[in-house]
Amino acid sequence: MGKVFVFDHPLIQHKLTFIRDKNTGTKEFRELVDEVATLMAFEITRDMPLREIEVETPVRKSKSKILSGKKIGIVPILRAGIGMVDGILKLIPAAKVGHIGLYRDPKTLKPIEYYAKLPSDVEERDFILVDPMLATGGSAVEAINSLKKRGAKHIKFMCLIAAPEGVEAIKELHPDVDIFIAALDEKLNEKGYIVPGLGDAGDRLFGTK
């Protein structure tokens, strides 16, 4: 069964409060999402494998550790996921970035893929799929389907705020995917917004309404 990690680090929680605040403007909102994405990336990469090399310090030769060259792919779900990419890239600059775009079919309300572009070596990469909000889980489940269909074997899902419904959907349909969140909120309202949430993440990131 996939694990759920809630990052209760004080810096993440502090910044998240201002991200939630409706009086936070677009510029500050974007900067805060970027900063929280960096902090979350620090935690999410805790299990990255290391190998030892020899290094010569000014004092003597020594063995020391470096990342063992694991290939990482970051995949934002369009469009709000884009707001988290640069923050992760600050810590993992060698990662490649794919994109998955989904829209909701007005009749069935199911997410339909309209765009997918991934690094060519999908099977060799560990993927971090990102979307600030995990609401019903429909988009996240479909994006994971899309990654797996193209050969992805190791996927982590990272978001700022999740609703219990979304977490359950991923756990049930993709039990191999671990979920990393900054806050687990109460519920979804009748319009599909997370309560208390932060409103529409895409609109707040890009200044649209």
Q: Which of 12, 39, 75, 135 binds ligand URA (CB under 6 A)?
A: 135
Q: Which of 32, 77, 159, 194 binds ligand URA (CB under 6 A)?
A: 194
CB nearer to ligand URA: pick between 68 and 189: 189
- Count of C-beta atoms within a 10 Å radius of residue 32: 22
Verify cis geometry, omega within 30 degrees of 0, for the bond prior to 58: no
Shortest reach from residue 85's CB to ligand URA, in Å: 16
Shortest reach from residue 13's CB to ligand URA, in Å: 18
Shortest reach from residue 94's CB to ligand URA, in Å: 30
Number of residues forming the site for ligand URA (CB under 6 A): 10
Q: Which of 170, 179, 201, 205 binds ligand URA (CB under 6 A)?
A: 201
Separation CA 145–CA 111 (nearest Å): 11
User: Taking CB under 6 A as the rule, does residue 197 contact ligand URA?
Assistant: yes
Torsion angle of the four alpha carbons 179, 37, 49, 6, in this order, in degrees rounded to the nearest 10:
-40
Assess whether 24 carries a catalytic annotation.
no
Beta strand spans in the chain (E):
4-6, 50-56, 61-67, 72-78, 96-97, 99-104, 111-117, 126-130, 133-134, 154-162, 178-184, 187-188, 194-195
User: Taking CB under 6 A as the rule, does residue 193 contact ligand URA?
Assistant: yes
CB nearer to ligand URA: pick between 119 and 137: 137
Q: Which one is catalytic: 38, 104, 126, 150?
A: 104
Q: Which has the closest alpha carbon to 137: 173, 113, 112?
A: 173
Residues tagged in the binding site annotation for 5-phospho-alpha-D-ribose 1-diphosphate: 79, 104, 131-139, 200
Would you please indicate which residues are annotated as catalytic (active-site) residues? 104, 108, 200, 203
In the annotated binding site for uracil, the residues are 194, 199-201
